[in-house]
Structure 1
Amino acid sequence: MTLDLSHIDTWVFDLDDTLYPREQGVMGLVQARINAFMVDAVGLPADEAKVLQKQFLTEYGTSLAGLMANYAVDPAKFLREVHDVPLDSLEPNPRLADVLAGLPGRKFVLTNGARFHAARVMERIGITDLFDGVFAIEDMDLTPKPAPSTYRHFVERFAIDAHRAVFFEDTPRNLQPARSLGMATVLIGDGHGHEIGPWVDATAPDLLDFLTPYALKAAA
Protein backbone atom coordinates (compact mmCIF):
# COMPACT_ATOMS: atom_id res chain seq x y z
CA MET A 1 0.00 0.00 0.00
CA THR A 2 1.51 3.33 -1.05
CA LEU A 3 1.07 6.58 0.83
CA ASP A 4 1.83 10.12 -0.23
CA LEU A 5 4.84 11.04 1.92
CA SER A 6 6.19 13.80 -0.30
CA HIS A 7 5.74 16.31 2.52
CA ILE A 8 7.61 14.25 5.11
CA ASP A 9 10.88 15.51 6.58
CA THR A 10 10.91 13.40 9.78
CA TRP A 11 10.78 9.60 9.88
CA VAL A 12 9.96 8.01 13.25
CA PHE A 13 10.30 4.29 13.96
CA ASP A 14 9.35 1.99 16.76
CA LEU A 15 12.23 -0.39 17.49
CA ASP A 16 11.27 -3.97 18.28
CA ASP A 17 9.37 -5.94 15.63
CA THR A 18 9.41 -2.83 13.42
CA LEU A 19 13.03 -2.12 12.47
CA TYR A 20 13.58 -5.86 12.25
CA PRO A 21 11.14 -8.72 11.47
CA ARG A 22 9.25 -10.27 14.37
CA GLU A 23 10.38 -13.68 13.12
CA GLN A 24 13.92 -12.97 14.28
CA GLY A 25 12.69 -13.65 17.79
CA VAL A 26 14.26 -10.94 19.93
CA MET A 27 11.01 -9.99 21.63
CA GLY A 28 10.36 -13.64 22.44
CA LEU A 29 13.57 -13.63 24.46
CA VAL A 30 12.61 -10.38 26.15
CA GLN A 31 9.17 -11.78 26.92
CA ALA A 32 10.69 -14.81 28.61
CA ARG A 33 12.78 -12.50 30.82
CA ILE A 34 9.68 -10.43 31.65
CA ASN A 35 7.78 -13.58 32.63
CA ALA A 36 10.60 -14.64 34.96
CA PHE A 37 10.78 -11.17 36.51
CA MET A 38 7.01 -11.17 37.04
CA VAL A 39 7.13 -14.48 38.90
CA ASP A 40 9.76 -13.12 41.27
CA ALA A 41 8.08 -9.74 41.69
CA VAL A 42 4.48 -10.79 42.32
CA GLY A 43 4.96 -14.21 43.90
CA LEU A 44 2.51 -16.01 41.62
CA PRO A 45 2.92 -19.25 39.68
CA ALA A 46 4.26 -18.76 36.17
CA ASP A 47 0.90 -19.23 34.42
CA GLU A 48 -0.88 -16.74 36.68
CA ALA A 49 1.99 -14.25 36.45
CA LYS A 50 1.79 -14.43 32.66
CA VAL A 51 -1.93 -13.60 32.72
CA LEU A 52 -1.24 -10.66 35.02
CA GLN A 53 1.58 -9.46 32.76
CA LYS A 54 -0.74 -9.38 29.75
CA GLN A 55 -3.27 -7.48 31.82
CA PHE A 56 -0.61 -4.92 32.76
CA LEU A 57 0.40 -4.58 29.12
CA THR A 58 -3.18 -3.85 28.11
CA GLU A 59 -3.97 -1.46 30.97
CA TYR A 60 -0.67 0.38 31.39
CA GLY A 61 1.20 0.07 28.07
CA THR A 62 4.12 -1.91 29.48
CA SER A 63 4.65 -4.60 32.08
CA LEU A 64 6.94 -2.25 33.98
CA ALA A 65 4.29 0.46 34.27
CA GLY A 66 1.84 -2.08 35.68
CA LEU A 67 4.40 -3.40 38.14
CA MET A 68 5.29 0.09 39.31
CA ALA A 69 1.62 0.94 39.85
CA ASN A 70 0.92 -2.17 41.90
CA TYR A 71 4.17 -3.47 43.39
CA ALA A 72 7.44 -2.17 44.82
CA VAL A 73 9.90 -2.84 42.02
CA ASP A 74 13.20 -1.29 40.96
CA PRO A 75 12.62 -0.04 37.40
CA ALA A 76 16.34 0.09 36.61
CA LYS A 77 16.69 -3.56 37.64
CA PHE A 78 13.69 -4.52 35.51
CA LEU A 79 15.01 -2.74 32.41
CA ARG A 80 18.46 -4.20 32.83
CA GLU A 81 17.34 -7.78 33.40
CA VAL A 82 14.62 -8.08 30.77
CA HIS A 83 16.52 -6.40 27.92
CA ASP A 84 19.90 -8.05 28.42
CA VAL A 85 19.19 -10.82 25.92
CA PRO A 86 21.48 -12.37 23.29
CA LEU A 87 21.06 -10.88 19.82
CA ASP A 88 22.43 -13.83 17.85
CA SER A 89 19.14 -14.25 16.00
CA LEU A 90 19.06 -10.60 14.91
CA GLU A 91 20.49 -10.23 11.43
CA PRO A 92 22.50 -7.25 10.18
CA ASN A 93 20.53 -5.54 7.43
CA PRO A 94 22.68 -3.53 5.01
CA ARG A 95 19.72 -3.20 2.60
CA LEU A 96 17.71 -1.45 5.29
CA ALA A 97 20.67 0.80 6.04
CA ASP A 98 20.87 1.80 2.38
CA VAL A 99 17.14 2.55 2.21
CA LEU A 100 17.15 4.57 5.44
CA ALA A 101 20.11 6.57 4.12
CA GLY A 102 18.06 7.39 1.03
CA LEU A 103 15.11 8.86 2.92
CA PRO A 104 14.98 12.67 2.96
CA GLY A 105 15.10 14.31 6.37
CA ARG A 106 15.75 13.28 9.96
CA LYS A 107 15.17 9.86 11.48
CA PHE A 108 14.32 8.90 15.08
CA VAL A 109 13.52 5.85 17.17
CA LEU A 110 10.60 6.04 19.61
CA THR A 111 10.61 2.91 21.78
CA ASN A 112 9.18 1.62 25.04
CA GLY A 113 12.40 -0.36 25.39
CA ALA A 114 15.45 0.61 27.39
CA ARG A 115 18.04 2.97 25.94
CA PHE A 116 20.85 0.41 26.09
CA HIS A 117 18.63 -2.16 24.36
CA ALA A 118 17.91 0.25 21.50
CA ALA A 119 21.62 0.95 21.13
CA ARG A 120 22.48 -2.76 20.98
CA VAL A 121 19.75 -3.57 18.47
CA MET A 122 20.57 -0.67 16.17
CA GLU A 123 24.27 -1.50 16.27
CA ARG A 124 23.56 -5.14 15.46
CA ILE A 125 21.35 -4.22 12.48
CA GLY A 126 23.94 -1.68 11.32
CA ILE A 127 21.84 1.48 11.33
CA THR A 128 23.06 3.46 14.35
CA ASP A 129 24.73 6.28 12.45
CA LEU A 130 21.64 6.91 10.31
CA PHE A 131 19.51 8.19 13.19
CA ASP A 132 19.34 11.66 14.68
CA GLY A 133 18.04 10.55 18.06
CA VAL A 134 16.50 7.83 20.22
CA PHE A 135 13.62 8.43 22.64
CA ALA A 136 13.51 5.42 24.98
CA ILE A 137 11.53 4.53 28.09
CA GLU A 138 13.97 6.47 30.31
CA ASP A 139 13.33 9.60 28.25
CA MET A 140 9.60 9.06 28.77
CA ASP A 141 10.04 9.17 32.56
CA LEU A 142 8.87 5.54 32.42
CA THR A 143 5.48 6.62 31.00
CA PRO A 144 5.25 4.45 27.86
CA LYS A 145 3.46 4.67 24.56
CA PRO A 146 0.54 5.08 24.00
CA ALA A 147 0.39 7.87 26.63
CA PRO A 148 -0.26 11.08 24.64
CA SER A 149 2.10 13.05 26.88
CA THR A 150 4.98 10.85 25.75
CA TYR A 151 4.42 11.79 22.11
CA ARG A 152 4.19 15.48 23.00
CA HIS A 153 7.46 15.31 24.91
CA PHE A 154 9.08 13.48 22.01
CA VAL A 155 8.15 16.07 19.38
CA GLU A 156 9.13 18.89 21.72
CA ARG A 157 12.50 17.34 22.53
CA PHE A 158 13.49 17.12 18.89
CA ALA A 159 11.54 20.13 17.55
CA ILE A 160 9.49 17.93 15.21
CA ASP A 161 6.63 19.30 13.12
CA ALA A 162 4.17 16.43 13.56
CA HIS A 163 2.37 17.31 10.33
CA ARG A 164 5.60 16.63 8.43
CA ALA A 165 6.37 13.36 10.24
CA VAL A 166 5.49 9.71 9.70
CA PHE A 167 5.50 7.03 12.41
CA PHE A 168 6.07 3.30 11.81
CA GLU A 169 4.83 0.88 14.52
CA ASP A 170 3.82 -2.75 14.94
CA THR A 171 1.21 -2.07 17.66
CA PRO A 172 -1.93 -0.38 16.31
CA ARG A 173 -2.94 1.53 19.44
CA ASN A 174 0.51 3.14 19.63
CA LEU A 175 -0.22 4.85 16.32
CA GLN A 176 -3.36 6.59 17.54
CA PRO A 177 -1.70 9.40 19.59
CA ALA A 178 0.75 10.01 16.75
CA ARG A 179 -2.16 10.43 14.34
CA SER A 180 -3.89 12.79 16.77
CA LEU A 181 -0.80 15.02 16.67
CA GLY A 182 -0.94 15.09 12.88
CA MET A 183 1.62 12.42 11.95
CA ALA A 184 1.10 10.02 9.08
CA THR A 185 0.94 6.47 10.45
CA VAL A 186 2.05 3.12 9.06
CA LEU A 187 1.39 -0.21 10.76
CA ILE A 188 4.12 -2.79 10.20
CA GLY A 189 2.89 -6.37 10.46
CA ASP A 190 -0.54 -7.77 11.23
CA GLY A 191 -1.26 -5.78 14.38
CA HIS A 192 -0.92 -8.80 16.68
CA GLY A 193 -4.67 -9.38 16.41
CA HIS A 194 -5.57 -5.94 17.79
CA GLU A 195 -8.00 -3.45 16.27
CA ILE A 196 -6.66 -1.52 13.29
CA GLY A 197 -8.65 1.69 13.39
CA PRO A 198 -8.97 4.71 11.11
CA TRP A 199 -5.93 6.29 12.76
CA VAL A 200 -3.78 3.89 10.70
CA ASP A 201 -3.06 5.46 7.30
CA ALA A 202 -1.35 2.45 5.76
CA THR A 203 -0.32 -1.09 6.57
CA ALA A 204 2.65 -3.09 5.36
CA PRO A 205 3.86 -6.61 6.14
CA ASP A 206 7.50 -5.54 5.87
CA LEU A 207 9.18 -2.21 6.62
CA LEU A 208 11.94 -2.55 4.04
CA ASP A 209 9.56 -3.29 1.19
CA PHE A 210 7.37 -0.34 2.16
CA LEU A 211 10.23 2.15 2.43
CA THR A 212 12.17 1.18 -0.68
CA PRO A 213 10.13 3.21 -3.21
CA TYR A 214 10.42 6.35 -1.06
CA ALA A 215 14.19 5.99 -0.82
CA LEU A 216 14.47 5.48 -4.56
CA LYS A 217 12.43 8.62 -5.19
CA ALA A 218 14.69 10.57 -2.85
CA ALA A 219 17.79 9.36 -4.65
CA ALA A 220 16.41 10.01 -8.14
Structure 2
Amino acid sequence: MTNLPTKTDFSHVRDWVFDLDNTLYPHHVDLFAQIDRNMTAYVSALLDLSREEARALQKRYYHDHGTTLKGLMIHHGIDPLDFLEKAHAIDYGVLSPDPDLGEAIRALPGRKFIFTNGSVKHAEMAARALGIFDHFDDVFDIVAAEYVPKPAGATYDKFMALHRVDTLHAVMFEDLPRNLLVPKALGMKTVLLTPRDAGHEFADAWEKHSQEDIHIDYTTSDLTAFLNALR
Protein backbone atom coordinates (compact mmCIF):
# COMPACT_ATOMS: atom_id res chain seq x y z
CA MET A 1 0.00 0.00 0.00
CA THR A 2 1.32 3.42 -0.97
CA ASN A 3 -0.14 6.88 -0.77
CA LEU A 4 2.01 8.58 -3.37
CA PRO A 5 3.00 12.20 -2.86
CA THR A 6 3.04 14.97 -5.39
CA LYS A 7 6.30 16.64 -6.22
CA THR A 8 5.13 19.91 -4.64
CA ASP A 9 4.55 18.13 -1.30
CA PHE A 10 8.32 17.75 -0.95
CA SER A 11 9.55 20.76 -2.93
CA HIS A 12 10.77 22.37 0.32
CA VAL A 13 12.86 19.37 1.42
CA ARG A 14 16.64 19.72 1.40
CA ASP A 15 17.65 16.96 3.82
CA TRP A 16 16.51 13.36 3.28
CA VAL A 17 16.96 11.09 6.29
CA PHE A 18 16.59 7.32 5.98
CA ASP A 19 16.54 4.57 8.54
CA LEU A 20 18.39 1.47 7.32
CA ASP A 21 16.88 -1.88 8.30
CA ASN A 22 13.49 -2.64 6.72
CA THR A 23 13.56 0.83 5.16
CA LEU A 24 16.28 1.02 2.52
CA TYR A 25 15.61 -2.64 1.85
CA PRO A 26 12.12 -4.15 2.21
CA HIS A 27 10.84 -6.25 5.12
CA HIS A 28 10.54 -9.42 3.06
CA VAL A 29 14.32 -9.61 2.54
CA ASP A 30 14.45 -10.39 6.27
CA LEU A 31 18.11 -9.45 6.71
CA PHE A 32 17.34 -8.40 10.27
CA ALA A 33 16.35 -11.98 11.12
CA GLN A 34 20.05 -12.88 10.98
CA ILE A 35 20.92 -10.05 13.36
CA ASP A 36 18.07 -11.09 15.62
CA ARG A 37 19.42 -14.65 15.87
CA ASN A 38 22.92 -13.36 16.61
CA MET A 39 21.61 -11.16 19.42
CA THR A 40 19.72 -14.08 20.95
CA ALA A 41 22.87 -16.21 20.81
CA TYR A 42 24.88 -13.40 22.44
CA VAL A 43 22.42 -13.02 25.32
CA SER A 44 22.25 -16.80 25.74
CA ALA A 45 26.04 -17.14 25.99
CA LEU A 46 26.47 -14.07 28.18
CA LEU A 47 23.91 -15.07 30.80
CA ASP A 48 23.89 -18.85 30.34
CA LEU A 49 20.22 -18.88 29.32
CA SER A 50 18.28 -21.17 27.04
CA ARG A 51 17.48 -19.77 23.61
CA GLU A 52 13.87 -19.17 24.65
CA GLU A 53 14.87 -17.36 27.86
CA ALA A 54 17.50 -15.33 26.04
CA ARG A 55 15.07 -14.27 23.32
CA ALA A 56 12.45 -13.20 25.86
CA LEU A 57 15.00 -11.05 27.70
CA GLN A 58 16.36 -9.67 24.43
CA LYS A 59 12.89 -8.55 23.37
CA ARG A 60 12.16 -7.05 26.77
CA TYR A 61 15.30 -4.94 26.59
CA TYR A 62 14.42 -3.92 23.03
CA HIS A 63 10.96 -2.83 24.10
CA ASP A 64 12.07 -1.05 27.29
CA HIS A 65 15.28 0.59 26.06
CA GLY A 66 14.92 0.97 22.27
CA THR A 67 17.64 -1.59 21.54
CA THR A 68 18.74 -4.87 23.07
CA LEU A 69 22.22 -3.34 23.24
CA LYS A 70 21.14 -0.49 25.51
CA GLY A 71 19.45 -2.91 27.90
CA LEU A 72 22.55 -5.10 28.04
CA MET A 73 24.75 -2.07 28.69
CA ILE A 74 22.52 -0.83 31.52
CA HIS A 75 21.93 -4.16 33.24
CA HIS A 76 25.10 -6.13 32.43
CA GLY A 77 27.80 -3.59 31.52
CA ILE A 78 28.74 -5.24 28.24
CA ASP A 79 31.24 -3.90 25.69
CA PRO A 80 29.00 -2.32 23.04
CA LEU A 81 31.54 -2.59 20.22
CA ASP A 82 31.95 -6.33 20.84
CA PHE A 83 28.17 -6.74 20.78
CA LEU A 84 27.79 -4.79 17.52
CA GLU A 85 30.54 -6.80 15.86
CA LYS A 86 28.92 -10.10 16.79
CA ALA A 87 25.35 -8.99 16.08
CA HIS A 88 26.28 -7.85 12.56
CA ALA A 89 28.31 -10.94 11.61
CA ILE A 90 25.77 -11.78 8.90
CA ASP A 91 25.49 -12.71 5.22
CA TYR A 92 24.82 -9.55 3.22
CA GLY A 93 24.55 -11.69 0.08
CA VAL A 94 20.76 -11.88 0.60
CA LEU A 95 20.66 -8.24 -0.58
CA SER A 96 20.74 -7.63 -4.33
CA PRO A 97 21.89 -4.44 -6.07
CA ASP A 98 18.95 -2.09 -6.61
CA PRO A 99 19.97 0.37 -9.33
CA ASP A 100 16.46 1.82 -9.59
CA LEU A 101 16.49 2.74 -5.90
CA GLY A 102 20.01 4.10 -6.25
CA GLU A 103 18.99 6.36 -9.11
CA ALA A 104 15.90 7.54 -7.22
CA ILE A 105 18.04 8.48 -4.19
CA ARG A 106 20.75 10.09 -6.33
CA ALA A 107 18.16 12.31 -8.03
CA LEU A 108 16.85 13.79 -4.77
CA PRO A 109 17.78 17.46 -4.36
CA GLY A 110 19.91 18.10 -1.29
CA ARG A 111 21.70 15.95 1.24
CA LYS A 112 20.95 12.31 2.08
CA PHE A 113 21.70 10.58 5.37
CA ILE A 114 21.38 7.13 6.91
CA PHE A 115 20.27 7.39 10.56
CA THR A 116 20.37 3.95 12.18
CA ASN A 117 20.33 2.22 15.56
CA GLY A 118 22.90 -0.14 14.03
CA SER A 119 26.58 0.52 13.32
CA VAL A 120 28.29 2.44 10.52
CA LYS A 121 29.89 -0.81 9.35
CA HIS A 122 26.50 -2.54 9.14
CA ALA A 123 24.99 0.41 7.27
CA GLU A 124 27.89 0.53 4.82
CA MET A 125 27.86 -3.21 4.19
CA ALA A 126 24.10 -3.25 3.57
CA ALA A 127 24.06 -0.09 1.46
CA ARG A 128 27.02 -1.28 -0.62
CA ALA A 129 25.27 -4.61 -1.23
CA LEU A 130 22.29 -2.59 -2.49
CA GLY A 131 24.60 -0.46 -4.62
CA ILE A 132 23.38 2.78 -3.03
CA PHE A 133 26.03 3.70 -0.45
CA ASP A 134 27.80 6.31 -2.57
CA HIS A 135 24.61 8.39 -2.82
CA PHE A 136 24.68 9.25 0.89
CA ASP A 137 26.49 12.13 2.54
CA ASP A 138 26.95 10.46 5.92
CA VAL A 139 25.84 7.71 8.30
CA PHE A 140 24.75 8.56 11.86
CA ASP A 141 24.88 5.37 13.91
CA ILE A 142 24.38 4.11 17.45
CA VAL A 143 28.00 4.93 18.35
CA ALA A 144 27.57 8.56 17.24
CA ALA A 145 24.38 8.57 19.34
CA GLU A 146 26.48 7.51 22.35
CA TYR A 147 24.41 4.30 22.42
CA VAL A 148 21.14 6.13 23.12
CA PRO A 149 18.85 4.76 20.39
CA LYS A 150 15.89 6.16 18.53
CA PRO A 151 13.23 7.07 19.58
CA ALA A 152 15.02 9.14 22.26
CA GLY A 153 14.63 12.83 21.53
CA ALA A 154 18.21 13.59 22.55
CA THR A 155 19.50 11.35 19.76
CA TYR A 156 17.53 13.17 17.09
CA ASP A 157 18.77 16.47 18.53
CA LYS A 158 22.35 15.20 18.32
CA PHE A 159 21.93 14.17 14.69
CA MET A 160 20.24 17.44 13.69
CA ALA A 161 22.86 19.56 15.45
CA LEU A 162 25.80 17.62 13.99
CA HIS A 163 24.57 18.06 10.43
CA ARG A 164 22.84 21.43 10.94
CA VAL A 165 19.57 20.05 9.66
CA ASP A 166 16.69 22.50 9.35
CA THR A 167 13.86 20.18 10.37
CA LEU A 168 11.27 22.33 8.58
CA HIS A 169 13.06 21.40 5.34
CA ALA A 170 13.66 17.72 6.06
CA VAL A 171 11.93 14.34 5.81
CA MET A 172 12.46 11.06 7.65
CA PHE A 173 11.79 7.57 6.30
CA GLU A 174 11.32 4.81 8.92
CA ASP A 175 9.75 1.38 9.35
CA LEU A 176 8.79 1.83 13.02
CA PRO A 177 5.93 4.24 13.79
CA ARG A 178 7.30 5.23 17.20
CA ASN A 179 10.58 6.38 15.61
CA LEU A 180 8.66 9.03 13.65
CA LEU A 181 7.06 10.73 16.66
CA VAL A 182 10.00 13.03 17.37
CA PRO A 183 10.70 13.92 13.71
CA LYS A 184 7.07 14.96 13.28
CA ALA A 185 7.19 17.04 16.46
CA LEU A 186 10.32 18.75 15.10
CA GLY A 187 8.47 19.75 11.95
CA MET A 188 9.79 17.10 9.57
CA LYS A 189 7.75 15.27 6.95
CA THR A 190 7.36 11.61 7.95
CA VAL A 191 7.14 8.51 5.76
CA LEU A 192 6.51 5.02 7.14
CA LEU A 193 7.78 1.98 5.22
CA THR A 194 5.29 -0.89 5.52
CA PRO A 195 5.65 -4.56 4.51
CA ARG A 196 4.62 -5.49 0.98
CA ASP A 197 2.98 -8.59 2.38
CA ALA A 198 -0.36 -7.54 3.84
CA GLY A 199 -0.27 -10.57 6.13
CA HIS A 200 3.14 -9.71 7.60
CA GLU A 201 3.30 -10.64 11.27
CA PHE A 202 4.98 -8.11 13.53
CA ALA A 203 6.87 -9.36 16.57
CA ASP A 204 5.28 -6.66 18.74
CA ALA A 205 1.96 -4.85 18.40
CA TRP A 206 3.65 -1.44 18.77
CA GLU A 207 5.65 -2.05 15.58
CA LYS A 208 2.45 -2.06 13.52
CA HIS A 209 0.95 1.04 11.91
CA SER A 210 -2.50 1.99 13.19
CA GLN A 211 -5.07 4.66 12.39
CA GLU A 212 -4.04 6.41 15.61
CA ASP A 213 -0.59 7.23 14.19
CA ILE A 214 -1.48 10.76 13.18
CA HIS A 215 2.21 11.70 13.24
CA ILE A 216 2.76 9.76 10.00
CA ASP A 217 2.26 11.80 6.83
CA TYR A 218 2.72 9.04 4.26
CA THR A 219 2.93 5.26 4.16
CA THR A 220 4.48 3.20 1.40
CA SER A 221 5.55 -0.38 0.78
CA ASP A 222 7.65 0.67 -2.24
CA LEU A 223 10.38 3.21 -1.48
CA THR A 224 11.57 3.45 -5.09
CA ALA A 225 8.09 4.21 -6.43
CA PHE A 226 7.58 6.78 -3.68
CA LEU A 227 10.83 8.60 -4.47
CA ASN A 228 10.23 8.43 -8.21
CA ALA A 229 6.91 10.21 -7.70
CA LEU A 230 8.93 13.22 -6.52
CA ARG A 231 11.02 13.47 -9.69
Q: Where do 4+ consecutive residues of structure 1 move more than 3 Å?
A: 190-193
- Report the Cα offset of residue 211 of structure 1: 1.1
Report 1:30-179 matches (<5 A). Answer: 30-179=35-184
Structure 1 residue runs of 5 or longer lacking an equivalent are none
Deviation digits for residues 24-49 of structure 1, max 9, x if unmatched? 12101111101100101222211011
RMSD over equivalenced CA pairs, Å: 1.3
- Report the Cα offset of residue 74 of structure 1: 1.2
- Report the Cα offset of residue 162 of structure 1: 0.5
State the alpha-carbon separation in 2 of the partners of residues 72 and 134 from structure 1.
26
Matched, 1:209 2:225: yes
Letter in 1 for 2:11: S
- Report the Cα offset of residue 212 of structure 1: 1.1
Aligned residues of 1:167 and 1:186 also touching (Cα < 8 A) = yes
State the alpha-carbon separation in 1 of the partners of residues 35 and 92 from structure 2.
11
Letter in 1 for 2:32: M
What is residue 10 of structure 2 aligned with on the other side? 5
Letter in 1 for 2:165: I
- Report the Cα offset of residue 2 of structure 1: 2.9
Deviation digits for residues 153-203 of structure 1, max 9, x if unmatched? 001101100011000000110111111111110000159443531111111
Moved more, 75-84 or 194-203: 194-203
**How many pairs were matched up?**
215
Letter in 2 for 1:98: E
State the alpha-carbon separation in 1 of the partners of residues 81 and 109 from structure 2.
36
Question: Does the residue aligned with 1:107 lie in a helix, a strand or coil?
Answer: strand
State the alpha-carbon separation in 1 of the partners of residues 67 and 24 from structure 2.
19
Task: Using structure 2 for the length normalisation, give the TM-score.
Answer: 0.90
Same amino acid, percent of matched pairs: 39
State the alpha-carbon separation in 1 of the partners of residues 190 and 42 from structure 2.
33
Aligned residues of 1:11 and 1:105 also touching (Cα < 8 A) = yes
Letter in 2 for 1:175: L
State the alpha-carbon separation in 2 of the partners of residues 167 and 42 from structure 1.
37
- Report the Cα offset of residue 23 of structure 1: 1.4
- Report the Cα offset of residue 52 of structure 1: 1.1
What is residue 24 of structure 1 aligned with on the other side? 29
Structure 2 residue runs of 5 or longer lacking an equivalent are none
Aligned residues of 1:175 and 1:185 also touching (Cα < 8 A) = yes
What is residue 14 of structure 1 aligned with on the other side? 19
Aligned residues of 2:93 and 2:129 also touching (Cα < 8 A) = no
